Amino acid sequence: MIFMFHEYETKILDINVVEIEEKLHKLWAELIKPETLMRRRVFDVQAHSENTGKRFRLRQQGDKTTLTYKERWWLEIGSTKELETEVGDFDIMAELLQKLERQTMVYQENKRKVYSRNDIEFCIDTRPMIPTYIEIEAPSKQQVEEALKTLWLEWKDVGDMWMIEIYKNHNMDLHSYNILKFE
């Protein structure tokens, strides 16, 4: 039996990395993954519009590659459902997915450092051409909101944004970049 799970996360844009990491250390959050380069390919299933859409994301982080189906109907915490499985070779899986001939297929990189405390993940993400942000993911909406309060960020909550909205927030059209990687 296969279940799609609600994803409870939010992103805070344009953070002061040093300040956030100091707060995480004071909270005894454990660094579970040092900054790691992540590669991804994104395939639209349903065209993105007004914060909704459906897509597949192929992502490699270190030696783990996953394929995730994401369905979003709004920006609010918990408004995304996802189904994820671990797959083999990133490049071979990307080639297989390209055979689907979807509307959009892009290549993106980011660097991610992951902290954890009480089943809450704090991911500090750096992407090309935009300021670093933090993504907070937890088993429930209440835990995400509590984590925001603990870091004194509750007033900065921007919701469960896709990269399209984050780049748009920085006056950039993400779809104008088929390849987005670090030099």
- Which segment of 33-37, 60-64, 69-73, 78-82 scores lowest on mean pLDDT? 78-82
Task: Please tell me what DSSP assigns to residue 84.
Answer: E
Q: Taking the model in full, what pTM does it have?
A: 0.82
106: nearest Cα among 117, 115, 98: 98
Band (pLDDT 50/70/90 cuts) for residue 181 is very high
Domain 5-176, what architecture? Answer: Beta Barrel (2.40)
3 CB burial (10 A radius; 0-12, 13-18, 19+): exposed
- Residue 74 in this model has a pLDDT that exceeds 80: no
Integer Cα distance of 109 and 70 in angstroms: 18
| Helix ranges (DSSP H) in 42-116 | 90-98
Band (pLDDT 50/70/90 cuts) for residue 56 is confident
What tens digit of pLDDT does each residue of 116-126 get?
999 999 999 99
- Which segment of 22-31, 76-85, 152-161 scores lowest on mean pLDDT? 152-161
Integer Cα distance of 49 and 73 in angstroms: 10
Integer Cα distance of 141 and 10 in angstroms: 9
